[in-house]
C-alpha cells in the first residue's frame, strides 16, 4: 500500500518516447475504490488474472497501478523529432533518467492517452480491445502502457488509467510499498499462476548468469 504522504512516481515506455508522471496527493485526498468497502484508496496496485489482459499484455500475470486520470501527466516525444530507436535504447539502458527532449511539455495524460486530434503526432498508439476499452502502447518500442474504460466503472468510480506497473521506473518499483495490494479477477486465474502469486508458495531460486546484462 502506498505511504500516506504525497509522492511522485515516474515511468514510461522502453524507448523513452513516452514518459508519464503520477502526482499522488496525501492519503486523505485520494479517492477510495468504491468496490473495496471504502478501504482502498487510489492509486491501487493489483495483479490481474483475467484472460483478456493476459493476452493483450503478453504477461502471464499483468499487474496494474490504477491511477485517477487527474493525477497523471505525460511527456511525449513527437514522431517528427524521433532519433533512431537503437541509439535511444543504448542511452536508456544507463538508467531511467533519460526522458523525452526538454522541449516536450508535461501535459495532462487524459489529453493524449485517449484517441484525439494529436494521435498521429506522437508514438502513443491505441487498440480498442472492445467497444468500451482503449489500450495504449508505444508505436515505436511496443511497450503496453494503459487501459481505459470509456464509460467508466459506474457511479462513484473515478476516471482511471490502469497503468502497467512494470513501466514504472526501477527506483520507484524498488520501494516495498509498490507491491500489489490485492488480486483482481482471481476466479478467472490459471491455477499454477495463482499458486505463484498467492504468497504461500516458496520457490527455488534459479542460478543467475551474466547478471549485469539484466540488472541496471
Ligand atoms: Zn517506446
CATH assignment of the domain containing 57: 2.170.150.70
Mean pLDDT, the chain, whole residue set: 85
Between the CA of 150 and the centroid of ligand 1 the distance, in Å, is: 24
CA of 138 to the centre of ligand 1 (A): 5
What residue has cell string 468500451?
A: 132
For residue 173, pLDDT over 90 is answered with yes
Q: DSSP letters along 17-77, please?
A: SEEEEEEE--GGGSPBPGGGTT--BSSEEEEE--HHHHHHHT-SS-EEEEEEGGGEEEEE-
Whether residue 38 is predicted with pLDDT greater than 80 in this model: the reply is: no
CB atoms within 10 A of CB 119: 12
Could you give the number of structural domains in the chain? 1
Ligand 1 centroid to residue 57 C-alpha, Å: 15
pLDDT tier at 120 (50, 70, 90 boundaries)?
Answer: confident
For residue 115, the enclosing domain spans 7-213
**pLDDT, position 91:** 45
pLDDT of residue 85: 47
The rounded Å distance from CA 124 to ligand 1 centre is 8
Instruction: Provide the β-strand partners of residue 148.
Output: 134
Is 82 domain-assigned? yes
43 pLDDT tier (thresholds 50, 70, 90): very high
For residue 2, is it within any domain?
no
201, part of any domain: yes
pLDDT value, residue 103: 67
CA 98–ligand 1 middle distance (angstroms): 12
- Compute the distance from residue 10 Cα to the ligand 1 centre, in Å: 15
- Does 18 reside within a domain? yes
Cell output for 28: 486523505
- Measured in Å, residue 191 CA sits from the centre of ligand 1 at 33
User: Could you tell me the three cell numbers for 128?
Assistant: 480498442
pLDDT in tens, 99-110: 555 568 999 999
Please check whether residue 202 lies inside any domain of the structure. Answer: yes
152 belongs to a structural domain: yes
* Confidence band, pLDDT 50/70/90 cuts, at residue 80: confident
- Section 116-135 average pLDDT: 90
Domain-located, residue 1: no
Distance 133 CA to ligand 1 centre (A): 21
Burial class (CB in 10 A: 0-12, 13-18, 19+), 34: middle
**Lowest-confidence pick of 17-21, 89-93, 168-172:** 89-93
In a domain, residue 183? The reply is yes
Residue owning grid cell 510499498: 177
- Mean pLDDT check: name the lowest of 8-17, 39-48, 78-87, 118-127: 78-87
Amino acid at each position: 500500500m502506498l505511504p500516506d504522504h504525497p509522492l511522485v512516481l515516474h515511468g514510461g515506455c522502453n524507448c523513452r518516447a513516452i514518459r508519464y508522471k503520477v502526482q499522488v496527493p496525501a492519503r486523505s485526498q485520494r479517492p477510495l475504490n468504491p468496490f473495496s468497502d471504502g478501504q482502498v484508496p487510489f492509486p491501487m496496485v493489483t495483479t490481474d488474472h483475467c484472460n483478456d489482459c493476459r493476452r493483450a499484455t503478453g504477461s502471464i500475470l499483468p499487474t496494474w497501478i490504477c491511477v485517477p486520470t487527474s493525477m497523471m501527466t505525460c511527456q511525449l516525444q513527437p514522431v517528427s523529432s524521433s532519433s533512431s530507436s537503437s541509439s535511444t535504447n543504448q542511452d536508456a539502458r544507463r538508467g531511467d533518467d533519460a526522458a523525452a527532449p526538454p522541449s516536450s511539455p508535461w501535459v495532462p495524460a487524459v489529453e493524449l492517452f485517449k484517441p484525439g486530434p494529436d494521435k498521429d503526432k506522437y508514438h502513443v498508439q491505441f487498440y480498442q480491445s472492445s467497444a468500451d476499452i482503449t489500450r495504449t502502447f508505444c508505436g515505436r518500442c511496443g511497450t503496453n502502457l494503459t487501459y481505459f474504460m470509456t464509460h467508466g466503472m459506474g457511479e462513484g468510480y473515478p476516471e482511471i488509467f490502469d497503468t502497467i506497473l512494470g513501466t514504472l521506473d526501477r527506483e520507484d518499483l524498488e520501494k516495498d510499498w509498490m507491491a500489489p495490494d490485492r488480486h483482481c479477477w482471481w476466479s478467472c486465474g490459471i491455477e499454477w499462476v495463482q499458486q505463484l502469486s498467492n504468497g504461500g508458495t516458496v520457490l527455488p531460486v534459479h542460478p543467475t548468469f551474466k547478471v549485469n546484462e539484466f540488472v541496471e
